[in-house]
Amino acid sequence: MEDRTTTMINGDCAFFGVYDGHGGSTAAEHCQEHLHNHLIAEMQEQWSVEVPALRTDDSECIRKISHCIRAAFVKSDHEFLCSSARPQGGTTAVVAVLLNGVVVVGNVGDSRAVLCRAGRAIPLSQDHTPKRPDEVHRISTVGGSVVAGEVVVNGEEFCLTRAIGDSMVKVPAGWDYRDRTAPQVVTSEPEVSITELTKDDMFILLASDGVWDRMSNEDAVRYVYNSLATTAQHDPKIAAQDLANHVIFNLKSSDNVSVIIVLPRKLSCRPLNFGNALQNHPSVNQQHQQMPPPQACAQTPDSFSL
């Protein structure tokens, strides 16, 4: 089992993360333990007291929060790469931060975040695979190549264009993967999306590629929408369990399946106070990893991770 999840909720903010490890669980475990802490530290550096109300039309605020997400990913990657003489494996990462009626999503790899708005699927992330021409171009400019749908670096092949860890395909020949100045082929720098939430936003779905290899965004959102509509009190725990069971047993996925469902209208996220966040987040951090058959083990009134 290589997937890990993080759920952090308090009166000030909410953080959710899905990390789909490969080549072992070490990189996913590292992100589970550290990435949200790095994000809090970066936000504290940008805003010394509290984050002002985020608005999608405030370019300076958008620049700062985007920088914080990127810095948290890159630092987590560098720490992991320097954690041993030859760190093993890597991980995808998709995180969602809810602040002041805005959801900020950062991702590397093919774990995905999708918003259900009035029953429609709104993608909050894009997969990082060699199918994207912009990613192929980026890779070629830093010394890598794409051959037969695989990223090729130093004779090694890889199926993703961005990830945390993966030292064997991280940098081109002649560079040390532990060097912060080295050009990264399989980069840890995330893409960031910032979306203002509305009254029509019903839930946010974060999941590893065990779901997306079997279901489109629209199919997954429709499935969760129907599940929430038929469960008592629109319970995200039941909906997450239902989706995982459907993917594993009905759609015959052999991959690990990790799911987080967030009902944003039940969260009361005021401006983030860093003293409270740093004090409170260890007590509300909930995590879960699973293999078939899935089992529920972490629940809050407004989200569920499976």
> Is 132 in contact with 117 (CB distance < 8 Å)?
no
* Strands, E assignment, the chain: 3-9, 14-22, 90-91, 93-99, 102-108, 112-117, 120-123, 145-147, 150-153, 156-158, 164-165, 191-196, 201-207, 259-262, 303-305
d(CA 155, CA 144): 10
Helices H, strands E: what count in the chain?
Answer: 7, 15
What was the pLDDT predicted at 284? 24
Low-confidence ranges of the chain (pLDDT < 70): 11-12, 267-306
Of residues 305, 276, 303, the one with CA closest to residue 40: 276
Q: Domain limits at 112? A: 3-305
What was the pLDDT predicted at 12? 62
What was the pLDDT predicted at 259? 97
What was the pLDDT predicted at 155? 94
Q: How many CB atoms are located within 10 Å of the residue 1 CB?
A: 11
Q: Domain holding 129: CATH number?
A: 3.60.40.10
Q: How many CB atoms are located within 10 Å of the residue 39 CB?
A: 27
What are the C-alpha distances in Å from 246 to residues 137, 144, 185, 228, 280?
37, 38, 36, 14, 35
**What amino acid occupies position 19?**
Y
d(CA 306, CA 304): 7
What was the pLDDT predicted at 51? 76
Number of domains in the chain: 1
Of residues 87, 169, 168, the one with CA closest to residue 128: 169
What was the pLDDT predicted at 290? 41
Of residues 210, 235, 189, 268, the one with CA closest to residue 13: 268
Give pTM, 2 decimals. 0.88
Of residues 218, 235, 242, 140, the one with CA closest to residue 183: 140
What was the pLDDT predicted at 286? 31
